[in-house]
Amino acid sequence: MKLIIQIPCFNEAESLPKTLLSLPRDIPGIDVIEYLVIDDGSSDDTSGVARRYGVHHIIRHRRNRGLAAAFQTGINAALSAGADIIVNTDADGQYEAQDIPLLVQPILEGRADIVVGDRQVGDNRHFGPIKRKLQVIGSALVRKLSSTPVTDAVSGFRAISRQAAQRTYIVSSFSYTTEMLIQAGRKRLAVVSVPIRTNAVSRPSRLFKSIPQFIMNSGVTILRAYAMYNPLRVFVALGLLAAITGLLPIVRFLFLYFTGDGSGHIQSLVVGGSLLTLGVIAIMFGVVADLIGRNRQLLESVLERLHRLEDQNAAESETVGQRASDSETTGPALDGTHG
């Protein structure tokens, strides 16, 4: 069983050494532990630090592409390196690295595809009161939209099985956390939350500059991801809202018309007809988007099958190589016996 711990980094040369030194070297049930650093276009010596501290895999983006892209790059690289389980953590040391075995355990036991570290934001002393309330509200919203029991939706401290990683495709340009959960809920993956410890972070987040910016970006990401994986529901709801709103002035016009006071109220008919037309168009868009979504699911199924074939071919190649090695080892001894 091979575990790869990936760390997306952007200008983390100062904090990365402490994070790397805190990572576990041995976990029960895990045979091999390797580290992966994704340098997201850093202008400092992040890659050099990772190299000097013996990181097994280092990938560098030529320019900064954002946390979501760095996360997906890490997932792809970890899968190529043969990871059975992937753990994602931050370079700033916010998450307690000694809790990584807690994340891995539900996957080892076969109870989970994805495990999210719960920072217990409602009582976390490292968060301010406003941030605690926003995190609780946001997690409740994502929990509802994703149909997963996650209690800390934006926690980046999470473990992913190989099979779940092969089915994860992050397209957001801001953050992967909420989109990944909405995908997991849509694909019926088993998601588990486990309580973890956190450390105080001395520097501000590089993902966002202010809380309003974080709320805006997170909201757009959640809505986009939900609409992507539930287009029919979203567009039908919008279409029905517009249609019902449009029916109200039409009913008003008809009532006034049949009571003999229809003149001068033609604007109600125009506005109502326009809204009703928009509602029908929105529903039609939903049907088309749903068909496109079904096509995307077929493409993802093809990719999943391709991943399985790659794993099977890799396993067969390893077996053939081992047999060849055994033959070379035993060959001379047999020759000597016959001689």
| 259-284 pLDDT tens trace | 776 666 778 888 888 999 999 999 89
Of the candidates 209, 154, 175, which has an alpha carbon nearest to the alpha carbon of residue 65? 175
pLDDT reading at 116 higher than 90: yes
Average pLDDT of the residues of the chain: 84
> With 90 as the cut, is the pLDDT of residue 110 above it?
yes
pLDDT attached to residue 313:
76
Confidence (pTM): 0.77
- pLDDT for position 70: 93
Instruction: Give residue-wise pLDDT tens across range 282-296.
Output: 989 888 888 887 777
Give, for 161, the enclosing helix (H) or strand (E).
Answer: strand 158-161
What pLDDT band is residue 222 in, cutting at 50, 70 and 90?
confident
Q: How is residue 331 written in tokens?
A: 């060959």
pLDDT over threshold 50, residue 336: no
For 81, how many CA atoms within 13 A lie in the half-sphere containing its CB?
A: 24
Under the banding of pLDDT at 50, 70 and 90, the label for residue 320 is low
19-71 pLDDT, tens per residue?
999 999 999 999 999 999 999 999 999 999 999 999 999 999 999 998 999 99
- When pLDDT is averaged across residues 179-200 and rounded to a whole number, the result is 91
pLDDT at 327: 57
Query: For residue range 130-139, what is the model confidence (pLDDT) as tens digits?
Result: 778 888 888 8
Q: Alpha-carbon torsion 57, 59, 65, 69, what sign?
A: negative
DSSP-derived 3-state class of residue 57:
strand
pLDDT of 324 reads 60
pLDDT number for residue 334: 36
Query: What's the token pair of residue 163?
Result: 């099979």
For residue 128, the model assigns a pLDDT of 72
Query: Residue 209's pLDDT is what?
Result: 63
Above pLDDT 90, what percent of the chain?
A: 44
pLDDT at 207: 61
Task: Check whether 321 has a pLDDT greater than 70.
Answer: no
Task: Return the percent helix, strand and coil in the chain, to nearest 5.
Answer: 55, 10, 30
Residues 6+ apart with CB under 8 A from 107: 85, 113, 115, 159, 161
SS3 60: strand
Domain 2-227: give its CATH architecture.
Answer: Alpha-Beta Complex (3.90)
Decide if pLDDT at 105 tops 50: yes
